[in-house]
């Protein structure tokens, strides 16, 4: 990973509508895809923080479309919040700082795309959930986000990564990586490979339900990791949803499933002690309560039926992606140690097993909650 110095960032920032000098800057280690820096500027005599981010062009082939989506989505949410008379709107929705000639991104001399956001103060994100209150807030935060976008007018949003959560295509890519075994790593992942093959039937379930019209397309976030919702430092309430690169047409269940994947286990995504990885029912209940209180009334019966399944599917699908990347030489997700993507795949599959054991009980939890919110 390239590390940008403060003076290089200063050069980049001069392209944007920021009129101060950098006091300090640091690289932000969260996220596996883009390169992110948090920089403090002296502006009008007080320190103001901004986020500079280089968009990963290998992952996002059309960064201009990513930014077009983000401008529409954040603009719409801002309008909604202002109409509601909400305070502190710049802490509740991401603010894109335009370039000095009014563009949402700056393209540098290497052809890299940079964007700048206002840094949201007095919030933080967590890599692992610490309490049921946090789980409720995560559910509420992403639920509200989805609600805010139901009346977004105009053309369909761009698919910034086509077939992003298409679990059948993800499975086929995994199969191809096993067959190619380009890096001779399959022998180290035999158990995981077999685990995935035994669950192939799962990958078509939601795609089939979508085909028959049981499940509608909606505007969704598509990367609802727990660390993508910022919680207020003082109140612990969900303030702002971040990482909007994959906001596009999708399934409500993808968003919910990815929350289950990232918000119910006490462990990190790359936990090595698999005995610690588990789907905890109290976290599932809290998360579901938060999410369904917001969006439950607008979901179809089929969507509600698949709520417990969705967590299992997302854990399997993201696990397949980690495993595929491991087998293919670690070119997609940033890794910090050998075998990192394999470790990540293992935790996902452990979570799949944990959900399999509890799926029935999870269904009862969903029913109980729906009785209260509908």
Binding residues for ligand GN1, per CB under 6 A? 31-33, 59, 223, 225, 243, 246, 269, 318
Q: Which tokens hold the place of 259?
A: 């929350």
243 binds Mg ion (CB under 5 A): yes
Q: Which tokens hold the place of 249?
A: 């047409």
255 binds Mg ion (CB under 5 A): no
The one of ligand GN1, Mg ion, none whose footprint includes residue 129, by CB under 5 to 8 A per kind, is none
- CB distance 49 to 36 below 8 Å: no
223 binds Mg ion (CB under 5 A): yes
CB of 51 to ligand GN1, least distance (A): 14
Per CB under 5 A, the segment of 14-22, 132-140, 237-245, 320-328 that binds Mg ion is: 237-245
Total number of residues that touch Mg ion (CB under 5 A): 2
- Based on CB atoms, which residue is closest to Mg ion, 20 or 104? 104
Closest CA to 210 of 201, 200, 218: 218
The one of Mg ion, ligand GN1, none whose footprint includes residue 32, by CB under 5 to 8 A per kind, is ligand GN1
In residues, how long is the chain? 374
The one of ligand GN1, Mg ion, none whose footprint includes residue 318, by CB under 5 to 8 A per kind, is ligand GN1
C-alpha torsion sign, points 151, 157, 161, 166: positive
DSSP-derived 3-state class of residue 202: helix
Report how far apart, in Å, the C-alpha atoms of 335 and of each of 219, 287, 322, 342, 343 are.
30, 29, 10, 10, 11
The one of ligand GN1, Mg ion, none whose footprint includes residue 285, by CB under 5 to 8 A per kind, is none
Give 331's contacts (C-beta < 8 A, 6+ positions apart): 58, 325
- Count of CB atoms situated within 10 Å of the CB of 69: 20
CB of 93 to ligand GN1, least distance (A): 18
CB of 135 to ligand GN1, least distance (A): 18
- Based on CB atoms, which residue is closest to ligand GN1, 258 or 294? 258
Give 42's contacts (C-beta < 8 A, 6+ positions apart): 20, 21, 23
CB of 321 to ligand GN1, least distance (A): 7
CA 370 – CA 374 distance, rounded (Å): 6
CA 341 – CA 327 distance, rounded (Å): 9
- Based on CB atoms, which residue is closest to Mg ion, 53 or 358? 53
Q: Which tokens hold the place of 229?
A: 């919702």
- Based on CB atoms, which residue is closest to ligand GN1, 106 or 254? 254
CB of 242 to Mg ion, least distance (A): 9
- Based on CB atoms, which residue is closest to Mg ion, 269 or 278? 269
CB of 264 to Mg ion, least distance (A): 19
**Largest separation between any pair of C-alpha atoms in the chain:** 62
CB of 297 to ligand GN1, least distance (A): 28
Q: Residues in the site for Mg ion, rule: CB under 5 A? A: 223, 243
């Amino acid at each position: 990973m390239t590390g940008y110095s403060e003076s290089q960032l200063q050069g980049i920032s001069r392209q944007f509508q920021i009129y101060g000098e950098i006091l300090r800057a640091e690289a932000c280690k969260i996220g596996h895809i883009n390169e992110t820096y948090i920089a403090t500027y002296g502006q009008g005599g007080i320190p103001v923080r901004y986020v500079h981010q280089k968009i990963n062009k290998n992952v996002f082939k059309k960064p201009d479309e990513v930014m077009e989506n983000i401008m529409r989505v954040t603009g719409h949410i801002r309008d909604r919040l202002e109409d509601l008379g909400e305070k502190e709107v710049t802490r509740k929705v991401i603010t894109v700082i335009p370039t000095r000639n009014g563009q949402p991104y700056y393209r540098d001399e290497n052809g890299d795309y940079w964007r700048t956001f206002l840094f949201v103060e007095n919030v933080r994100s967590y890599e692992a959930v610490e309490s049921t209150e946090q789980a409720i807030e995560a559910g509420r935060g992403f639920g509200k986000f989805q609600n805010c976008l139901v009346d977004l007018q105009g053309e369909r949003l761009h698919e910034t990564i086509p077939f992003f959560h298409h679990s059948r295509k993800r499975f086929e890519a995994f199969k191809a990586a096993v067959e190619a075994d380009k890096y001779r790593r399959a022998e180290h992942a035999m158990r995981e490979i077999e685990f995935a093959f035994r669950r192939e039937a799962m990958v078509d379930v939601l795609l089939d339900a979508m085909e028959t019209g049981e499940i509608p397309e909606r505007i969704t976030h598509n990367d609802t990791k727990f660390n993508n919702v910022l919680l207020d430092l003082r109140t612990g309430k969900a303030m702002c949803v971040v990482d909007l690169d994959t906001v596009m047409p999708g399934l409500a269940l993808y968003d919910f499933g990815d929350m289950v994947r990232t918000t119910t286990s006490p462990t990190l995504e790359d936990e090595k002690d698999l005995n610690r990885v588990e789907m905890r029912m109290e976290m599932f209940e809290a998360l579901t309560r938060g999410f369904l209180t917001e969006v439950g009334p607008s979901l179809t019966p089929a969507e509600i039926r698949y709520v417990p399944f969705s967590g299992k599917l997302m854990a399997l699908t993201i696990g397949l992606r980690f495993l595929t990347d491991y087998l293919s030489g670690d070119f997609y997700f940033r890794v910090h140690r050998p075998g990192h993507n394999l470790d990540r795949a293992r935790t996902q599959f452990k979570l799949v097993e944990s959900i399999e054991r509890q799926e029935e009980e999870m269904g009862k939890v969903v029913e109980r909650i729906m009785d209260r919110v509908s």
